[in-house]
Every structure is written in C-alpha cells, then in structure tokens.
Structure 1
Amino acid sequence: MQILKKVVVKQILTDNSKTRLKEQFLSKQYQLNKEVQQLEFVLHKKLKDTKNNANYQNSLKESFRREMQRRKERIRQLELKLSQLDELDLGAEVREGSIQMIEEVEEGDNWEDIMKGTEIVVKDGMVHEIRKGGMHDDD
C-alpha cells in the first residue's frame, strides 16, 4: 500500500540562494503594493459610482479595507523575512516549505519509523541531502 507523507524542504543559504530569495521577497512585496494601490483606485471609482447608496458604500469600504489589510500584513511579513534573511549566515538552513511524497507501507512495518519526519536539503538548486528519521515537522 502507498501513503502520502509530508516532507520538509530546506535550503542551505549560499550567496546565490540569498540573492534569489531577496529578489523573490522584493518582487512579492512590489506586487502586493501594486495590488493595494489598485484596490484603492477601484474603491474610489466604485464609491463615486454609488454615491447615492450609503449602506452599500459602507459595506464596500469595509470589504476593500479587509482586502487591503490582508495585503499590508503580507507586506509586513515580507519585510520581516527580508530583515531575517540579512541576519542569516551563509550555510544556514532555511525552511522553504513542504511537499508530499509517496511512501510504500507494508504489513509489519514500524509505523513510528514511517511517520518520522523526512527532510530534503537543497543547495543552489541541487538536492544536497535527504534526511530520514528526524522529528515530524507540522506546519
């Protein structure tokens, strides 16, 4: 029988990966800022078009405010990640996320061994190490 198992992906920080991560964070930050500006523009336009309906305008403002807040929070998180990235030394391991893998399970297998965490460590785009039997890492 086959099961899906979560695998943690980590990256060893090098000059190249640090630069790439920084560019990704800045790009996401730029995109989110553009989205906030676009939301502000659309809100202003819709408010102008519906100036005779105060209830609808209030609902619209609240809805747009929530969307803008979500994006601004993501921008703040990216700023934090950027500052943390600057403080990390080369060679440090940075969690990239997790993926799913298929693992073969048969009668008699030790369930605890199967469910122990697996990590894939990547360095400059290449699989550097596969670690089995570590702690299971929940998101």
Structure 2
Amino acid sequence: MMKVIKKVVVKQMLTENRKQSMMEDYKKTRKQVEKEVKQLEFQLHKKLKASKNNYEYQNALKSSFNKEIKERNDKVKIIDFQIGQLSELEIGTEIKEQTIDTLHEINVGDDWNLFLEGTEIVIKDGIVFEIREGGNKE
C-alpha cells in the first residue's frame, strides 16, 4: 500500500439559494468596481485641475488614469457577462469551482487507469452531496 496525492475536482451544484448568492456577489462586486471608476475619475479631475499649465504632466495623468479606468470598465463587462451566463444556467447544473489535492491509497493490483480517471466532489448548498470516484461518473 502507498499513499499518493491526487487532484480532485470540486463542483458546486446550482440551487436556487446558490444562484441567488452568486448573483448577489456579482452585483456587489460590480457596484464596488463602478465605485472605483467614479473615484478614479474624481481623482483625475482633481489632479488635472491642480496642474493647470503643465500639459505634459496632464497627458501622463490622463494616460495613467484612463488605463486604470479602462481596466475597471472591462471588469464590469466581464461581470455583466457572468451575470448573463448565470441567469441562463438551469438549477441542478454543476459548476467547477476548484481543484484540491487529496491523499489516496493505492495498492498492488489496483486499476491504475481507473485511479487516473479522477474523483469529483459535488457540493450542494454548502454540504458534500456526492463523491464520484474514478470511473463512477454519471
């Protein structure tokens, strides 16, 4: 017998509660990013006002701030896309959440191919709902 580390996929089963929670998280994150954009725009305006006659500095400021603002706006677009995708997903859909390392026993005579097929842990509303050993997927 030998113990080996094996990667295991953790999936989250989409339930009404999970979907609502994810949607709230996306909206909260979106609101935060929009707030950051407004703060950056305000700071840019304030710094431009303070450096009225230094055009070279103003251009550098605009360039720097606009890059940051664009990154945040791109983030908002990604969040909007994720919200759209989530709203289309059906209840019961399994979403890959992460991969974790687990300790497994292997013995002489074990089917190596079966071992390599992988294991999945399915979570439903924060509770382990199912453990699928290699070759035992539905």
TM-score by length of 2: 0.77
Give the equivalent residue in structure 1 for 2:51: 50
Aligned counterparts of 1:123 and 1:47: Cα–Cα separation in 2: 52
* Farther-moved stretch of structure 1 (114-123 vs 32-41): 114-123
Unaligned runs of at least 5 residues, structure 2: none
3-state SS of the aligned residue for 2:52? coil
Give the equivalent residue in structure 2 for 1:14: 15
Unaligned runs of at least 5 residues, structure 1: 135-139
| Alignment map for 1:1-139 (pairs within 5 Å) | 6-96=7-97, 98-103=98-103, 117-133=118-134
Alpha carbons of 1:49 and 1:6: their partners in 2 closer, same or farther (altered >3 Å)?
Answer: farther
Question: 1:13, 1:91 within 8 Å by CA — same for their partners in 2?
Answer: yes
Question: 2:13, 2:95 within 8 Å by CA — same for their partners in 1?
Answer: yes
Aligned counterparts of 1:54 and 1:117: Cα–Cα separation in 2: 60
Question: 1:4, 1:100 within 8 Å by CA — same for their partners in 2?
Answer: no
Q: How many residue pairs were aligned? A: 133
3-state SS of the aligned residue for 1:91? coil
3-state SS of the aligned residue for 1:89? coil
Aligned counterparts of 1:57 and 1:119: Cα–Cα separation in 2: 54
* Farther-moved stretch of structure 1 (85-94 vs 48-57): 48-57
Q: CA RMSD in A?
A: 2.9
Identical counterparts, % of pairs: 47
3-state SS of the aligned residue for 1:23? helix
TM-score by length of 1: 0.76
Alpha carbons of 1:71 and 1:111: their partners in 2 closer, same or farther (altered >3 Å)?
Answer: farther
Amino acid of the residue matched to residue 60 of structure 1? Answer: L
